[in-house]
Amino acid sequence: MKNLKILIAGGGIGGLATAIALAHSGHHVEVRERRSFVDETGAAVQLGPNAWHALARLGLQHIVKDRAVFPDRLCIRDGQTGKLLTTISFDGSFQAKFHAPYATILRAQLHAALLEEAKNLPTVELASGCEVTTEDIRNRTEAIIAADGINSSLRTCLFPGVSARSLPFTIFRSMPNLAFANADIDFLHVTLWLCRNGHVVHYPSGNPSKVNLVAVCSGEVLTPRERLQGLCPPLDAILRAARDLSTWPAQAVPFLPQWHAARVCLIGDAAHGTVPFLAQGAAMALEDAVAMAAAIEGATTVEAAFQQFETSRRKRTARLDAQSQGMPRLYHAAGPLAFARNMAMQSGLISSLQFVTWLYRHSAP
Ligand SMILES: Cc1cc2nc3c(=O)[nH]c(=O)nc-3n(C[C@H](O)[C@H](O)[C@H](O)COP(=O)(O)OP(=O)(O)OC[C@H]3O[C@@H](n4cnc5c(N)ncnc54)[C@H](O)[C@@H]3O)c2cc1C
């Protein structure tokens, strides 16, 4: 199909990326964002190779590369002993294997790159401070793409009674100032600390004086240090330096029998949002954008395009969701299980790359 008029609900990563992909195919797109497009909230996100494949399809890899940070490796450590369990190098052989790098970037910078591109495209219209409502779904005749995030109200309108489920974790985010983190740790790497009852990950944020930190604890707690006890001194020092903690809802969208109804289709977190334990939220939204444009290009009706979009995306996102929700069994193990995990990681019997190879190898349609 060519020259469609499409309304997108939500100007986050998924909404803007989809607007760009559709405008590149010659469609006219209106993006409505209920807040402001310029949003400085949100810390840094990780961009694995599959995110770069999608960015390349959107023609944005160079502009995003200029704003991203390229850590040279992932180090996995035992949070109690501090021992290094395994590393994944993001060097030339990683890049040759996956045909793309590994990066981290401030979410605001990624969002700004998408916004700049969208503003340059004559067939994209951006409206902020304005929602897509259930009235629009009832009354508008054009195709509607609901990229309205994990707590999507349009999803509830299409599938009454379906809402994101809370999972039994507390997720904390912080961007500690490195000056306060008096720890003997190289903050240029991505570091994952596996602890009893939780895990902590930190990586460069793009702001040289601050590191992006995410701490995940089982159950409901007020601070990570309340749940994660007996930590090694460097990790304890990093958590002490995390003075600007905010919580991030641990939610997952239940498996929906379908993502579209008539002329409305959910994408991104609205369709398949899950806990960020494999750091794929932004990547999945970018992949969805490319897949949606390809589906619309190849179909003769909107409904057929949405069906094709779902067919191309459901298996992958369902696998990601199942794997993300299963990660705590490995990451938060205690006692003999943790001992066995550590031995297997140290001896190379299990490598974290084996969990994500299928994800990183994917290239956009
Ligand atoms: C402010 C913010 C900060 C974030 N920070 C991080 C982070 O630090 N690390 C991380 O891994 N992930 C973060 N995320 C999540 C990550 O960006 C998403 O998982 C991923 O990009 C999926 O994107 P999405 O477009 O599906 O949803 P989102 O990026 O959540 O975007 C949804 C957008 O829709 C808008 N919206 C909602 N309802 C309506 C409506 N009815 N009409 C119009 N607009 C509507 C929202 O205001 C929002 O801008 C953040 C998301 C947001 C919104």
Q: Please give the full DSSP string across 187-230, using - where no structure is assigned.
A: TTSEEEEEETTEEEEEEE-SSTTBEEEEEEEES--SSHHHHS-S
- Tell whether ligand 1 has an atom less than 6 A from the beta carbon of residue 252: no
Confidence of residue 120 (pLDDT cuts 50, 70, 90): very high
- CA 347 / ligand 1 centre spacing (Å): 39
Kindly tell me if the per-residue pLDDT of 363 is higher than 80. no
Q: Measured between alpha carbons, how far is residue 323 from residues 49, 206, 358 in Å?
A: 18, 28, 12
β-pairing, 73-78 vs 190-195, is parallel
Tens-place pLDDT, residues 202-249:
999 888 888 999 999 999 999 999 999 999 999 999 999 998 899 999
Q: With a threshold of 0.85, does the pTM exceed it?
A: yes
State the pLDDT at residue 6: 98
Residue 276 has pLDDT above 80, yes or no: yes
Q: Residue 339, by phi and psi: left (phi above 0), alpha (psi -120 to 50) or beta?
A: alpha
Task: Determine contact, residues 273/281, Cβ cutoff 8 Å.
Answer: yes
CA 342, CA 347: separation in Å to the nearest integer?
Answer: 8
| Residue of 58, 38, 34 whose CA lies nearest to 47 | 58
Tell me if 176 CB under 6 Å of ligand 1.
no
Question: Distances in Å between the alpha carbon of 268 and those of 19, 255, 280, 291?
Answer: 13, 13, 11, 11
Name the token pair of 214.
């995410």
Phi, psi (degrees; rounded to nearest 5) at 242: -80, 80
111 alpha carbon to ligand 1 midpoint, in Å?
A: 10
**59, two tokens:** 């023609």
Under DSSP, the state recorded for 300 is S
d(CA 365, CA 287): 9
Q: Does 97 score more than 80 pLDDT? A: yes
Residue 182 has pLDDT above 90, yes or no: no
**Ligand 1 contact via 141 beta carbon (within 6 Å):** no
If you average pLDDT over residues 80-105, what whole number do you get?
Answer: 96
For residue 313, the one-letter residue type is R
Residue pair 148/132 in contact (Cβ under 8 Å)? The answer is yes
Specify burial of residue 149 (Cβ count, 10 A radius: 0-12, 13-18, 19+): buried
Query: How far away, in angstroms, is 12 Cα from ligand 1 center?
Result: 5
Structure tokens given for 227: 């749940």
Q: What is the enclosing helix (H) or strand (E) of 94?
A: helix 92-98
* CB 281 less than 6 A from any atom of ligand 1: yes
